[in-house]
Amino acid sequence: MPDIVAMGECMVELYADGPVARASVFHRSYGGDTLNTLVAAARLGSSTRYITRVGSDPFTPYLLEAWRSEGVDTSTARRVAGPNGLYIISLLPDGEREFAYYRTGSAASTLSPEDVTDDALRGARIFHTSGITQAISPSARRAVLEGVRRAKALGLRVSFDPNLRPALWHSVAEARAALDEVLPFVDIFLPSAPEETEQLLGVRDAVEVARACRARGVPLVMVKQGKDGCVVAHGESVTVAPAYEVGAVVDTTGAGDAFDGAALHALARGMDPASAARLGAITAGLKVRGRGAVRSLPTGREVYALFERGAATPKCGQKECRL
């Protein structure tokens, strides 16, 4: 049985080392927020399963084989007619990234409530999904709602990262409504501050975000702030976990997903929330050293070596306050 089941979209990634307009070579990879999360968890030792749809194009065998090689159970990755989503990413001379997405009508966008079954979820500890999954199509949004409802009924802990991408929504108001419909089922909420939380919740300060979400009944809130660390609210306390900084940052793509995967792995193993946030911070910090959403995810050996040495431990006087 899997420890963590996730649902969402994974696309083919083509990346270049310079601007797309001048690139003569593109390298193939893959990425998608919920799949990135699963791979991060699997590299730390969790058993994982992915609920998605894959297309009928030549990329599908590559995707399925790559996911399986990372320890992801693909038995719930349904094959359908149509293309897989594709995105192109390149690194510009000033260090900024350039993206182009081709996902309209993709196989994953046809996700529907029928993809979420008791058999797919039963026996797992955590079900994870995201706002991107909600946003890719109306049927995928319904699938997310069915997933969180069904997971909750089966006794799984429900994890949700809003991962706001305004370009995927008709309006921020629509994104807020989608969040509101799933939040009553969420046990582990993983937003990012300040921009995302300001748009979705009207609050920029991470501690205030944590307090607001706890007041709405979410048992565990982890507010990610990049280099400013993570605010963790659980029970009556708020803990601040610092970021783990490794020096030069090469690519932040998927850093939040890496945090999610490590934190969920830790929680599935029974770690306390503050320790789970530390593990997430270390994983995200190591991930940004390299290119790509998945290729640069660290190994469990790298992460645990730093964790056991006390990396990303809150400083005295910074650790805890009361709700």
Confidence of residue 274 (pLDDT cuts 50, 70, 90): very high
pTM given for the model: 0.95
pLDDT at 320: 54
Tokens describing residue 305: 């070596």
Which sequence spans correspond to the domains of the chain? 4-8+33-83+108-322
Confidence of residue 63 (pLDDT cuts 50, 70, 90): very high
The torsion angle over the Cα atoms of residues 192, 275, 232 and 299, rounded to 10 degrees, is 0
Average pLDDT for 64-72 = 98
Q: What is the pLDDT of residues 125-152, one digit of tens each?
A: 999 999 999 999 999 999 999 999 999 9
Annotation marks residue 115 as catalytic = no
Tokens describing residue 14: 């083509």
The helix/strand/coil state of 34 is: helix
Q: What is the pLDDT of residues 74-90, one digit of tens each?
A: 999 999 999 999 999 88
Judge contact between 30 and 13, C-beta under 8 A: yes
CA pair distance 291, 57, nearest whole angstrom:
26
Return the percent helix, strand and coil in the chain, to nearest 5.
40, 20, 35
Catalytic pick from 33, 187, 257, 260?
A: 257
Query: Does residue 291 have a pLDDT over 90?
Result: no
CA neighbours within 13 Å on the CB side: how many for 172? 9
Chain centroid, CA 227 distance in Å: 17
Query: Does residue 319 have a pLDDT over 70?
Result: no
Q: What is the CATH number of domain 4-8+33-83+108-322?
A: 3.40.1190.20
DSSP 61-99: HHHHHHHHHTTEE-TTEEE-SSPPPEEEEEE-TTS-EEE
Query: Does residue 322 have a pLDDT over 50?
Result: yes
